[in-house]
Amino acid sequence: MSALQDEALESASWDLEPLVERRGPAGVEDLLGQARERSAKFAERYRGRVAKLGAGELAEAMTDLGEISDIAGRAGSYAMLAFTLDTADPERGALIQRARELGAEIETLLLFFELEWNEAPDEHVDEVLADEALAFCRHHLRTLRRYRPHQLTEPEERILTETSVTGSSAFRRLFTELTSALRVDLPGTDEPASLEEALSRLQDTDRGRREQAAEAITAALRPGIRTRGYVFNTLAQDKSVKDRLRSYPHWLASRNLANEASDESVEALIEAVQSRYELARRWYRLKARLLGVDRLAYWDRMAPVGDSDERIPYSEAESIVLDCYSEFAPELGRTAREFFSGGYIDGPPRPGKRGGAFCSYTVPSAHPYVMLNYTSRPHDVLVMAHELGHGVHASLARPQGIFQFTTPLTLAETASIFGETIVLERLLERAPDAAGRLDLLAGSLDGAVAAVFRQVAMNRFEHAVHTERRERGELSTDRFGELWLATQGDLLGDSVDLADDYALWWSYVPHFMDTPGYVYAYAYGHLLALSVYRRYEEAGPDFVPSYLDLLKAGGSLPPEELGAIVGVDLSDPGFWSSGLDLIERQLEAAEAAAAEAGRT
């Protein structure tokens, strides 16, 4: 069954109206108007007094600030999600731009609060934060204090906030529109396909079709490469200027601070993964043997190792994921089911729709939303499980409130990878034979290599780009390609043939533009989740309550304390190796299954 014939998939669409009280785009402007008015009154009441507020009055101020953030967050989420569904629609583009402009006005009015809070003496801060009246925002307020060395004056902060609307955020929007508008002329199709649909062809069982898809993708990427390269250059320089003004010592420092991760811990992660690149190469060598080729081409990496062209209808994927979640913990299953029954999942790929998959937390007073581009391949079932992991994490953390329900990026993948692993393990148990287990393990290893090893290689690409942009100036598109091939080559070694055409493939990755430095968090989160899953293997059902407690804690505690809830020590130097060992265990299982199935 194709995605186009899947009625359940076609009916899986968002209902965004609850975000704006069913007032549509007009509700966005109305809610942001309310937030702006309340922000002005808030500034009148508290400007010049924040550093001296007692616990009771500070709690009142934070409650007001939380309500303002919630109102503005609802409006901003509606505009962003509506734009995601059709990035080619000028009305949606205008709406998100208007939301960003009004959001910047609100942020400007409220800038004084964080600046003044960070000027308060440490003794006063410790005294007021000890009061239970501030429990709902204690960790948030402590976290803000970490930005004191990088804080500018209020006039300077106002300028940066207001100009970002026509600066960095405008270029990020342009990149999204450019990549969403890409059309790929795939052989055998009547109309050009979206980039997402074309990339899914790289999972085709026929090697010739995979190669044709790769050639078509490269052809689609080539015409706009200079524009996308210019966007990347501009955003890299914008970041360089802001990092210099804020006295960040290197390009990744601000991301590490936001992730509540030390430079040392991130360096240890990158070094640990790089030191075991051979695991990725070992998998790709095995995969080459399974596919009957001497060496993989870059467009073979996501190929299935089985002979089946299996398609899994959307409703069947829903049943698989919900059954697995419910078997692990009924509360988890109930929470996941709400996404399907309430209009909180948008499933099918459509022209103009943003590629990939994500979960938007929105705000605690509203339900999270999950976006998929479901193409009915088995891998898409694990993508669904992954994004619903984010979704249940967001849902269970909603009682923490606006200030403390989101986690740092380094922990944001915990529930998603854990949920994906639950589904994988259940499917492995039901596999009829070694060949079936091999297919599942192959998909999991493809995902682990992509999430851990490839993301660290992408981090090395970003590092090279940002370093060279600062030291030598604007990069040519050829130079971007050289750095991309070099850093991917470091990972892949002799296990994959990287053709010159692959030099263009950096140019559709949104994270490089939207959230510089983000990608290592995938590796961090994946290895953390595997370590958490190991704890589950050791403790069995007794582990479930502590896992749910971890999700419900949201971002109310530092990462080390969140890890401690489930018995994981993030300060342990051997932590990264523990997660990598689990990947190696899966690789060994795949090697054994391949031998049992007579494939090697």
Residue 162 lies in a domain: yes
Enumerate the β-bridge partners of residue 370: 345, 359
d(CA 339, CA 370): 8
Containing domain of residue 83, as a range?
Answer: 9-166
Q: What is the DSSP string of 68-126?
A: HHHHHHHHHHHHHHHHHH-TT-HHHHHHHHHHHHHHHHHHHHHHHHHHHHTTS-HHHHH
Mean pLDDT of the chain: 92
pLDDT tens-digit profile of 567-594?
Answer: 888 877 677 888 899 899 999 999 999 9
Q: What is the mean pLDDT of the segment spanning 374-380?
A: 83
* DSSP H or E stretch at residue 297: strand 296-297
Q: What is the pLDDT of residue 379?
A: 76
pLDDT tens-digit profile of 102-155?
Answer: 998 999 999 999 999 999 999 999 999 999 999 999 999 999 999 999 998 888
Residue 500 lies in a domain: no
Rg (CA), the chain: 24
Token pair 């944001």: residue: 412
Alpha helices in 259-353 (DSSP H): 263-274, 277-291, 314-328, 330-341
d(CA 54, CA 265): 36
pLDDT tens-digit profile of 59-108?
Answer: 999 999 999 999 999 999 999 999 999 988 999 999 999 999 999 899 99
Residue 142 lies in a domain: yes
pLDDT band per the 50, 70, 90 thresholds, residue 534:
confident
Of the chain, the percentage scoring pLDDT greater than 90 comes to 74
Q: Is the confidence at residue 380, as pLDDT, over 60?
A: yes
d(CA 255, CA 389): 23
Strands (E), 195-250: none
The answer to whether the Cα torsion of 60, 61, 66, 68 is positive or negative is positive
Residue 95 lies in a domain: yes
Question: Which of 192-196, 517-521, 529-533, 548-552 shows the highest mean pLDDT?
Answer: 548-552
d(CA 97, CA 76): 10
Residue 114 lies in a domain: yes
Q: What is the pLDDT of residue 412?
A: 86
Q: What is the pLDDT of residue 559?
A: 87
d(CA 314, CA 383): 12
Q: Is the confidence at residue 4, as pLDDT, over 70?
A: no
Q: What is the mean pLDDT of the segment spanning 288-315?
A: 89
**What's the token pair of residue 300?**
């073979």
Token pair 């265990």: residue: 585
Q: How many domains does one find in the chain?
A: 1
Residue 470 lies in a domain: no
Helix (H, G, I), strand (E, B) or coil at 382: helix
Q: What is the mean pLDDT of the segment spanning 401-423?
A: 90
Q: Which amino acid is at 393?
A: H
SS (HEC) of 521-539: HHHHHHHHHHHHHHHHHHH
Q: CB 575: neighbour CB atoms within 10 A? A: 20
Tell me, what CATH number does 71's domain have?
Answer: 1.20.140.70
Residue 128 lies in a domain: yes
Q: Is the confidence at residue 1, as pLDDT, over 50?
A: no
Residue 52 lies in a domain: yes
Alpha helices in 449-519 (DSSP H): 455-472, 477-492, 511-514
